[in-house]
Amino acid sequence: MELTVNQMSVSLSGQAILHNVSAKIQSGEFVGIIGPNGSGKTTFLKSLRGLCPIQSGKVILNGHNIKQLTDKQMARQVAYMQQNINLNFGYTAKEIVLTARYPYLKWWQNETSRDEAMVEQVMKDVGIWSLRHRAVNELSGGERQRVFLAKALAQDTELLLLDEPTAALDLVYADEIFRQGRAYCEQGKGICIVVHDLELAAKFCTRLLLFSKGQLVADGTPQEVLTAAHLKEAFQLAAVVYEDPYFKQQRIFVFPKGVTSIEPYRTEAPLPKDISIALRQHEYENI
């Protein structure tokens, strides 16, 4: 799978949302879409699925312009999980997940044993098999979120587009969803996921796309994208990004607005070298 975005610009209701965005996403990549609210993350994700009109530029999926693909052709290659889903009908969790198999069925066909087995597996993967007979509108927000994540997975596409799938989940489930997503990518799928938790993104994503004011301002590994300079540019905040010496992952410490000295944060315990250097650099840059 290869998806290429060439100089894409998108406007909604007469307002420019994305400006000349270019990126490439391939099989095996777990791509985190990060940035402040209103930076264009969700619009970018929707545009990849063909749900937002593109004013200029192209989105090419496996050699084909997505404007030329039918809905069924897109549905067999790309699964999209939107941010907010409201249901007032009493469909069960399993019935909702089973709808993901419709792109592969003729209009007269019912689900096969293979479809049933796939739905069962993905529902077990995200921990909701025990809820299969429950009405979705009776589930909690977090449980409902996992139902629609399972639906996206059951579509069995090469590319998954997930818009904040862990927003309503407890920490343990959020971590597990990212862990499972990374495992799917290691099996050959590609995932683009909008995420607000930067440390979670750094922990599991193989690549990050940082948006600010409708522009892609950084594209690279978490170590390349999550820097104090990039966070200051995109989020307008002062922060220190450092490597956790115990668990070998990136951590972010955000300074309160207006703080220009590290003195209130000094401790008697010796700091790891990279943290000490980052703190001194912050103090130097803000004085």
Read off the tokens for 105.
């069925």
- What pLDDT sits at residue 122? 93
Label residue 257 exposed, middle or buried (CB < 10 Å: 0-12, 13-18, 19+).
Answer: exposed
Q: For all residues of the chain together, what is the average pLDDT?
A: 89
Q: Which residue has the higher pLDDT, 269 or 146?
A: 146
Question: What is the second-level CATH architecture of the domain 1-77+157-226?
Answer: 3-Layer(aba) Sandwich (3.40)
State yes or no: pLDDT of 260 exceeds 80.
no
C-alpha–C-alpha distance, residues 268 and 278, integer Å: 17
Tell me the HSE value of 142 on the side-chain side, using a 13 A CA sphere: 11
Q: Which of 91-100, 216-225, 233-242 has the lowest mean pLDDT?
A: 233-242
Q: What mean pLDDT is predicted for residues 117-141?
A: 92
62: left (phi over 0), alpha (psi -120 to 50) or beta: left
Highest mean pLDDT among 46-50, 90-94, 110-114: 46-50
Please write the tens of the pLDDT for every residue from 193-230: 999 999 999 999 999 999 999 999 999 999 999 998 99
Taking alpha carbons only, the member of 153, 93, 167 closest to residue 121 is 153
Q: What mean pLDDT is predicted for residues 55-66?
A: 96
pTM, two decimals, is 0.90
- What pLDDT sits at residue 135? 94
Q: Return the sign of the alpha-carbon dihedral for residues 221, 27, 185, 30.
A: positive
State yes or no: pLDDT of 284 exceeds 60.
no
State yes or no: pLDDT of 286 exceeds 60.
no
| Strand partners for 251 | 242
- What pLDDT sits at residue 287? 38
DSSP state of 256: P
Q: Which residue has the higher pLDDT, 232 or 210?
A: 210
Provide the pLDDT confidence category of residue 241 given band limits of 50, 70 and 90. Answer: confident
Highest mean pLDDT among 43-52, 231-240, 245-254: 43-52
Question: What residue segments make up the domains of the chain, in order of their start?
Answer: 1-77+157-226, 86-156, 237-287
